[in-house]
């Protein structure tokens, strides 16, 4: 069964405690936390103070996705804020291997995200150093976008790469995940499903998470 990582970006920020309480009761294992700087992506979300508060509200894994330039400047601050997994974008890192060493040296799991236009094979030389690869199945920056179909082939290709090297790297997929396309995504090789609107705009988020959990 997949790991479910609801994206708090889609939650009602006036009632964030209620959203955290709901996720704590749910079958979701991770809290997916999207940080945007208005430079790497054309949007600004939330940052360290909000993550610090979310960390206090849950014992579940805090999966922090940095959609920012120069992530190395903030890695230690996100560790201190409570990140368990810190994911940086390949496209934002001039020295990606150094970024991964920094994240692991701080005691977090290291993730690498790739945008829809980025080929999976660019990870070939660092895949053994990555704990989680986040395949963006929409262009990063905004929730509520439609899943890009070619992402399925990218998941398959990444699965082959990981299996060929006998690694335990997890494949996480973020963007446009629904109850309708989740089976195809998991069948292609995904381990972790990020879902924002599908969960938080649902009439029954707990039931929706339970349904996603049963996929695969």
Predicted pLDDT at 140: 85
Predicted pLDDT at 158: 98
- CA–CA gap between residue 193 and residue 180 (Å, rounded): 13
- CA–CA gap between residue 108 and residue 100 (Å, rounded): 10
Predicted pLDDT at 186: 98
What is residue 132's three-state secondary structure?
Answer: strand
Is residue 174 flagged as an active site residue?
yes
Token digits of residue 60? 């579940």
Is residue 63 flagged as an active site residue?
no
Q: In what order do the strands lie in the sheet with 85-89?
A: 3-6, 192-195, 170-174, 132-136, 109-114, 85-89, 61-67, 30-36
State the pairing for strand pair 61-67/30-36: parallel
Using a 10 angstrom Cβ sphere, with 0-12 exposed, 13-18 middle and 19 or more buried, the burial of residue 212 is: buried
Catalytic residue among 34, 37, 129, 131: 34
Catalytic residue among 63, 129, 131, 174: 174
Q: What is the pTM of this model?
A: 0.97
Token digits of residue 45? 């979300």
Q: Tens place of pLDDT for every residue, the chain, 216 residues?
A: 899 999 999 999 999 999 999 999 999 999 999 999 999 999 999 999 999 999 999 999 999 999 999 999 999 999 999 999 999 999 999 999 999 999 999 999 999 999 999 999 999 999 999 999 999 999 987 777 899 999 999 999 999 999 999 999 999 999 999 999 999 999 999 999 999 999 999 999 999 999 999 996
Beta bridge partners of 35: 66
Token digits of residue 130? 């990555």
- Protein fold of 3-214: TIM Barrel (3.20.20)
Predicted pLDDT at 216: 66
Using a 10 angstrom Cβ sphere, with 0-12 exposed, 13-18 middle and 19 or more buried, the burial of residue 64 is: buried
């Amino acid at each position: 069964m997949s790991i479910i990582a609801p994206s708090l970006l889609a939650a009602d920020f006036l009632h964030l405690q209620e959203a955290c309480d709901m996720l704590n009761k749910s079958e979701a294992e991770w809290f997916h936390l999207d940080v945007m700087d208005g430079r790497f992506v054309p949007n600004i979300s939330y940052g360290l103070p909000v993550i610090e508060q979310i960390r206090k509200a849950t014992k579940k894994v805090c999966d922090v996705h940095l959609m920012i330039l120069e992530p190395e400047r903030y890695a230690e601050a996100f560790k201190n804020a409570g990140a368990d997994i810190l994911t940086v974008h390949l496209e934002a890192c001039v020295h990606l291997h150094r970024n991964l060493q920094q994240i692991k040296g701080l005691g977090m799991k290291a993730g690498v995200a790739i945008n829809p236009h980025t080929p999976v094979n660019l990870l070939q030389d660092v895949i053994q150093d990555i704990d989680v690869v986040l395949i963006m199945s929409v262009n990063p920056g905004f929730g509520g976008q439609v899943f890009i179909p070619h992402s399925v082939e990218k998941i398959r290709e990444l699965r082959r790469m990981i299996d060929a090297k006998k690694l335990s790297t997890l494949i996480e997929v973020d963007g446009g995940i629904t109850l309708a396309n989740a089976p195809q995504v998991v069948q292609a090789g995904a381990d972790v499903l990020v879902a924002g609107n599908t969960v938080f705009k649902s009439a029954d988020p707990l039931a929706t998470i339970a349904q996603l959990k049963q996929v695969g």
